[in-house]
Amino acid sequence: MTIANVAAASGEEALGFDRDRVEKPVFHALLEARARFGGQRPILVDGDERVLVYDEVVRAALALGHALRRGSHPGEAVGVMLPTGAAAIIAFFALSAFGRVPAMLNFTAGTAGVNSAIRIAKVRRVITARRFIELAKLEELIVALDKEIEVVYLEDVREGLTLVNKGAAAIGQYAPVLIAARPDHGKPAVLLFTSGTEGEPKGVALSHQNLLSNVEQVRLHIALYENDILFNPLPTFHCFGLTVGALMPMLLGIKVVCHPTPLQPKEIVRRIRASGATILLSTDTFISQYGRAGESGDLNSLRLAVCGAERLRDETRALLRKKYAIELLEGYGVTEASPVIAANQPGANRSGTVGRFMHGMQYRLDPVEGIPNAGRLFVRGPNVMLGYMSASNPGVIIPPKDGWHDTGDVVSVDEEGFVAIRGRLKRFAKVGGEVVSLAAVESCASALWPDHSHAAIAIADGRKGEQIILVTTNREADRSDLLGWAHNHGVPELSVPRQIVVTDEIPVLGTGKTDYGKVQKLVAAQSISVAR
């Protein structure tokens, strides 16, 4: 039997805001933020420390959008392949201002991944920058892009801006209604793409209302202030980095400091201290690196450090608490929910959970065989996507049935509404007839060897159905030590991996998540048959 629950009643009353806050195009929400906070308010800091005020962002978006509108039509998807920074954010708003749909391309996904996204969304033009391509060494990717794709470089667009483009921006800055498009709030505002680690990548279509609803849900869930400074090193091709890291601060009058890559711990720590950032967005993988890279006091300005995208380890919590006196807030989201579904809060921060559901969201838990007191999570709400696009039906959006999105995650919800993620349904192994969470296996390894990275996978076993393999960066890892730790902590022996594979590093995606597809290939290449 399906277990159905409602986190909050649907509609305006539960959300705490009226329709006018979310039933509008994203670009018009930016214009309203500018009117509310003032055109000369500093709002965006680029990776080179250049500071832009609202007026500059709006003017640049209108000029660029007016120039880019030629060769495309309203509602068409246009690829954006840029690192986190002013260029990516302005390109997003530029396309949105003239009714085009930004398709945020994951340039770390390789040629096959990028071309797959392009085909799924029927992209004909990709916006990028020559300097970025050079610094990121993506020349081969550009050459390998579908031959029918037009690559548009921002440097060329800027040099080719006409008086008409500049005039449109000048007029639009004061009378945007005369220049900017006003697409329906229920139409696609952005296309993002799943990683494809569990199958063929899919396009996720999010509407203007989806994005703005999630901004409002986060605003209602966590106290945010106009004097906050948000530091965002997460990619804008990832929904967390786009919605929470770029759109939310700019629409709420919070200055956002952008960093082009999360992979520079020392530079990020330096910039956090220099900027006086009060909010940091990160993942467990990245924030543990920042914690180790910094000196005592470097992160003292932070009042909130919010982690998502992957499980937050106890060891990471302990490191940041001891060295910087920072309490990390773990949240949970999926691209299909724009992305935030639940999050811990200051004063309501429970380790081992991802907090409570966002306002206005409904959820249900469908029972899963072999996993008691938990269920497969389905969610519905104003932030849940329009639907998927697939390679088999490019450009066509298939909505979720009855508005319910199947997250594929197994969760439990306690009496106070705190959500605990037990693991992805595909991240459970069947060992000797028992169901074992691979996430729990990783937690055991992390507790025993906190200074190393770990990933657990399952492979076929003729005798027991499946067996668990642990991949670790700890060269001294020994199964007997892990078995002893499990016995001492009441962990069933079935959760102890049969085999251990040592590697120099655990493969990760551009978002910081473990790339289990590559981990699986790494194990397959070992051809190990005897447990250590």
Residue 183 has a pLDDT of 85
Please write the tens of the pLDDT for every residue from 477-491. Answer: 888 777 777 777 767
What's the CA gap between 281 and 233, in Å, rounded? 7
Please say whether the structural domain 432-526 has been given the CATH code 3.30.300.30.
Answer: yes
pLDDT class for 17, splitting at 50, 70, 90?
Answer: low
Residue 12 has a pLDDT of 44
Edge-first strand order for the sheet with 405-413 is 3-6, 362-368, 371-380, 405-413, 419-424
pLDDT at 434 over 70: no
Residues in CB range of 13: below 8 A, 6 or more apart: none
Q: Mean per-residue pLDDT for 99-113?
A: 92
What's the CA gap between 206 and 142, in Å, rounded? 27
Edge-first strand order for the sheet with 304-307 is 51-53, 42-45, 255-258, 229-232, 279-282, 304-307, 328-333, 340-343, 356-357
What's the CA gap between 318 and 291, in Å, rounded? 10
User: What is the share, in percent, of the chain residues with pLDDT greater than 70?
Assistant: 90
Nearest CA-CA partner of 304 in 339, 280, 335, 271: 280
Residue 195 has a pLDDT of 72
The distance of Cα 242 from the centroid of its chain, to the nearest Å, equals 7
Q: For helices 26-37 and 208-221, what crossing angle results, to 10°?
A: 40
Token output for 402: 């009855």
What's the CA gap between 434 and 461, in Å, rounded? 14
Please write the tens of the pLDDT for every residue from 258-311. Answer: 999 999 999 999 999 999 999 999 999 899 999 898 888 889 999 999 998 888
Residue 466 has a pLDDT of 73
Residues 27, 28, 29, 33: is their CA dihedral positive or negative? positive
Token output for 382: 């104003």
pLDDT class for 325, splitting at 50, 70, 90?
Answer: confident
Q: Mean per-residue pLDDT for 494-499?
A: 75
pLDDT at 180 over 80: no
| Residue 273 vs residues 86, 277, 296, 299, 329: alpha-carbon distances, Å | 20, 7, 11, 6, 20
pLDDT class for 10, splitting at 50, 70, 90?
Answer: very low
Q: For helices 26-37 and 54-68, what crossing angle results, to 10°?
A: 150
Identify whether the C-beta of residue 36 lies closer than 8 Å to the C-beta of residue 253: yes
Lowest pLDDT segment from 84-98, 224-238, 396-410, 462-476: 462-476
Whether omega before 339 lies within 30 degrees of 0, making that bond cis, reads yes
What's the CA gap between 430 and 251, in Å, rounded? 46
Residue 5 has a pLDDT of 47
Strands annotated E in 259-386? 279-282, 304-307, 328-333, 340-343, 356-357, 362-368, 371-380
Q: Mean per-residue pLDDT for 485-512?
A: 75
Q: Mean per-residue pLDDT for 372-380?
A: 91
Token output for 396: 């066509």
pLDDT class for 529, splitting at 50, 70, 90?
Answer: very low
Domain locations along the chain:
3-419, 432-526
Nearest CA-CA partner of 262 in 511, 507, 58, 458: 511
Strands annotated E in 274-418? 279-282, 304-307, 328-333, 340-343, 356-357, 362-368, 371-380, 387-390, 393-398, 405-413
Q: Mean per-residue pLDDT for 5-14?
A: 45
pLDDT class for 3, splitting at 50, 70, 90?
Answer: very low
Please write the tens of the pLDDT for every residue from 31-78. Answer: 999 999 999 999 999 999 999 999 999 999 999 988 898 888 999 999
What's the CA gap between 27 and 251, in Å, rounded? 10
Q: Mean per-residue pLDDT for 163-184?
A: 77
Residue 219 has a pLDDT of 94
Token output for 489: 């902590």
| Residue 303 vs residues 126, 229, 501: alpha-carbon distances, Å | 38, 10, 39
What's the CA gap between 100 and 119, in Å, rounded? 17
Q: Which residue matches tokens 């994203």?
A: 26
What's the CA gap between 103 and 190, in Å, rounded? 6
CB atoms within 10 A of CB 77: 26
Residues 108, 425, 103, 180: is their CA dihedral positive or negative? negative
Residue 187 burial (10 A CB sphere; 0-12, 13-18, 19+): middle
Q: Mean per-residue pLDDT for 322-336?
A: 92
CATH code of 3-419, in short, is 3.40.50.12780
pTM (two decimals): 0.84
Residue 425 has a pLDDT of 67
Identify whether the C-beta of residue 271 lies closer than 8 Å to the C-beta of residue 293: no
pLDDT at 391 over 70: yes
The distance of Cα 140 from the centroid of its chain, to the nearest Å, equals 26
Nearest CA-CA partner of 291 in 318, 312, 310, 329: 318
User: What is the share, in percent, of the chain residues with pLDDT greater than 90?
Assistant: 53
| Residue 514 vs residues 42, 143, 471, 508, 517: alpha-carbon distances, Å | 36, 28, 11, 4, 9
- Please report which helix (H) or strand (E) contains residue 286, including its range: helix 284-293
Q: Which residue matches tokens 């966590």?
A: 222
Tell me which amino acid residue 413 is.
V
pLDDT at 404 over 60: yes
What's the CA gap between 479 and 251, in Å, rounded? 51
Identify whether the C-beta of residue 390 lies closer than 8 Å to the C-beta of residue 204: no
Alpha helices in 101-238 (DSSP H): 110-121, 130-135, 139-144, 154-159, 163-174, 208-221
Please write the tens of the pLDDT for every residue from 81-104. Answer: 999 999 999 999 999 999 999 999
